[in-house]
Amino acid sequence: MARLDVTETFEGIRFPGHLHTQESLSFASTFPFRDSDTLLVTYPKSGTTWMQEILTFIYSKGDPGPAKTIPNWVRIPWLEHHYFKQTLQQTSKPRLFTTHLPQQTLAAALRKSKPKVIYVARNPKDVAVSFYHFHKMANFLPDPGSFDDFLHHFLDGSVHFGSWFQHIKSWLSCQAELGLFCITYEELHQDLKGCVERLSAFLGCPLQPDQIASICQHCSFASMSENTTAHLALIPREIMDPSKGSFMRKGIIGDWKNHFSLRQDTHFNQTYQQEMDHCDLGFTWRGLD
């Protein structure tokens, strides 16, 4: 299934047709979750792959076996991807899933059961930069044009996967209802060990100190860059072109400062203020200013 130039629009949001079909999006929106499932929710480029790796290691109790031998899209598949139904048959228990879908698409399905839901958020300026570079290498996403063009689309929400603002606002608005575990990319950076401890408590998956140490070692940027099953390096070059960039690109906080002009930063801050006014995220960004 190539469909590199196809765009699927579902509930007003555009998705790459290479990975999504109307049927797969519909299947995701009515998916029968179980209370024992864990759902990882992210806007693209917010630390999805990092959290997939951490969750894999928490459930394997620090054993690198599964993370080193099974690609991340099989270990913790995306609900909305076209291969999901097929992958589901191989999914071991407890079932772990990933999604980039907005909250309203999954609201009805999530009301029917109580899976554990983890939301990973990242400073949106760094998300925009990472997403821009990803567009350059991923042939299933549109040509982003200049960074200025891309930023414009990112801020008005017309990029694939929709508005970052709507995504975070809609998910965090049902934080209490869903018992959402919210964590940021920046927190993972600052204190990976502390984050792993919090996650293991949330998941009811106790870990020994040596297991936590193994997780922190294997989930570092350097280790994950070498583990091709952790990211998209296994994907053919017609789909993701390594000559145009790297999936494990920089993995740092604040790279936006190397990309944003003063004008772009001012415009971004104004849009952020307008969109996030009266929205208490419950945490403050590190690196937004």
- CA–CA separation, 162 and 178 (whole Å): 22
Question: Which CB sits closer to ligand PPS, 111 or 250?
Answer: 250
- CA neighbor of 122 nearest in space, from 264, 255, 16, 246: 255
CA 42 to chain centre: 4
Question: Which CB sits closer to ligand PPS, 45 or 82?
Answer: 45
Question: Which CB sits closer to ligand PPS, 82 or 133?
Answer: 133
Residue closest to ligand PPS when measured from CB atoms:
251
Rounded least distance, CB 9 to ligand PPS, Å? 19
Find the helix or strand (DSSP H, E) in which 275 lies.
helix 262-276
- Amino acid at the residue 83: Y
Rounded least distance, CB 126 to ligand PPS, Å? 6
- CA–CA separation, 121 and 281 (whole Å): 10
Residue 286 token pair: 């590190």
Rounded least distance, CB 60 to ligand PPS, Å? 17
Q: What angle do CA 269, 271, 276 make, to 5 degrees?
A: 95
- CA–CA separation, 230 and 208 (whole Å): 23
CA 86 to chain centre: 21
Question: Which CB sits closer to ligand PPS, 70 or 114?
Answer: 70
Question: Which CB sits closer to ligand PPS, 32 or 57?
Answer: 57
Q: Which residues bind ligand PPS (CB under 6 A)?
A: 42, 44-50, 126, 130, 133-134, 219-221, 224, 248-251, 255
Rounded least distance, CB 120 to ligand PPS, Å? 8
Rounded least distance, CB 83 to ligand PPS, Å? 15
Question: Which CB sits closer to ligand PPS, 114 or 220?
Answer: 220
Reply yes or no on whether 100 is catalytic: yes
Decide: 79 and 10 in contact? Cβ < 8 Å: no
Rounded least distance, CB 111 to ligand PPS, Å? 26
- CA–CA separation, 49 and 17 (whole Å): 21
Give 185-229 as a 3 state SS string: HHHHHHCHHHHHHHHHHHHCCCCCHHHHHHHHHHCCHHHHHHCHH
Catalytic, out of 81, 100, 133, 153: 100
Q: Which residues carry out catalysis?
A: 100
